[in-house]
C-alpha cells in the first residue's frame, strides 16, 4: 500500500465521501448519517467558526477514512472525538490508528490536554471499544440506557 497522507482542510466533496465511509463501516444507524454529513457541511459553510475540525487519510487523493473532532467550550483543553471511521474494505490496516495519531498531534499543538471518545455498549461495538483501549484511551464512565434501553453510552479519555 502506498503511503498515507493527511488533509485537515475540508473540500466540497467531503460530505459525500463521509457518507460513503460511514455507510461502508456498518457501525452507524441510518439517522446518524445526516449528522456526520452536517458537521462537514457546517464546516464548509462556516469554516473554523463551525467548531468542527477534520483529519482525512488519503492515498493518491482517495479518502480512506476520517475523523471529526473539536474543542469543548468551557474547558481549558478538552476535545471531543465526534467521529472516526475508515472505509470498511480498508479496516484493520492501521489507517484508523494513523488518523487518531494525527488528531492527537493537532490537539497537542493546540495545547489540548485530553481527547474524549464515546461509543455504544452493544456487542456490535466491541471492536470500537477495543480500538480505543488499544490506542491508549481509558474507559471512564458509562451512562445506562443512553441511546436506547439496554444500549449504554461508554466514555473513553486519552491524555495528550
- Reply yes or no on whether the pLDDT at 2 is more than 80: no
Residue 65 confidence (pLDDT):
97
At residue 8, does pLDDT exceed 70? Answer: yes
**Band of the pLDDT at 153, cuts 50, 70, 90?**
very high
Beta pairing partners, 54: 68
What percent of the chain is predicted at pLDDT more than 90? 88
Buried-exposed string 6-44: b where 16+ CB fall within 10 A, e elsewhere:
bbeebeeebbebbeebbbbbebeeeeeeeebbebbbbbe
Q: At residue 58, does pLDDT exceed 90?
A: yes
Rounded CA separation 104/9 (Å): 16
CB 35 within 8 A of CB 18: no
Domains in the chain: ranges and CATH: 5-114 (3.40.630.30)
Distance in angstroms (rounded) separating the CA atoms of residues 10 and 47 = 9
| Range list of H helices, the chain | 14-25, 33-46, 95-109, 126-134
The predicted model gives 53-64 an average pLDDT of 95
pTM: 0.93
When pLDDT is averaged across residues 129-147 and rounded to a whole number, the result is 97
**Residue where the block lists cell 457518507:** 19
Query: Average pLDDT for residues 8-28, to the nearest whole number?
Result: 94
Residue 79 has pLDDT above 90, yes or no: yes
pLDDT tens-place string over residues 81-137: 999 999 988 888 899 999 999 999 999 999 999 999 999 999 999 999 999 999 999
Judged on CB neighbours under 10 Å (0-12, 13-18, 19+), 155 is middle
Confidence of residue 1 (pLDDT cuts 50, 70, 90): low
Give me the pLDDT at residue 27, please: 84
pLDDT-based confidence at 59, cuts 50/70/90?
very high
Angstrom CA distances, 50 to 82, 114, 155, stand at 14, 20, 24
Amino acid at each position: 500500500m502506498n503511503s498515507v497522507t493527511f488533509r485537515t482542510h475540508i473540500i466540497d466533496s467531503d460530505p459525500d465521501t463521509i457518507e460513503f465511509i460511514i455507510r461502508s463501516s456498518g457501525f452507524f444507524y441510518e439517522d446518524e448519517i445526516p449528522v456526520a454529513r452536517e458537521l462537514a457541511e457546517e464546516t464548509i459553510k462556516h469554516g473554523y467558526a463551525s467548531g468542527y475540525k477534520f483529519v482525512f487519510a488519503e492515498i493518491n487523493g482517495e479518502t480512506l477514512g476520517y475523523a471529526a473532532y473539536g474543542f469543548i467550550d468551557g474547558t481549558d483543553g478538552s476535545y471531543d472525538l465526534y467521529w472516526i471511521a475508515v472505509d470498511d474494505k480498508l479496516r484493520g490496516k492501521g489507517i484508523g490508528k494513523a488518523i487518531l495519531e494525527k488528531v492527537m498531534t493537532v490537539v497537542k499543538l493546540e495545547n489540548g490536554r485530553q481527547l474524549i471518545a464515546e461509543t455504544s455498549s452493544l456487542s456490535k461495538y466491541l471492536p470500537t471499544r477495543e480500538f480505543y483501549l488499544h490506542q491508549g484511551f481509558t474507559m471512564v464512565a458509562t451512562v445506562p440506557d443512553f441511546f436506547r434501553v439496554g444500549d449504554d453510552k461508554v466514555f473513553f479519555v486519552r491524555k495528550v
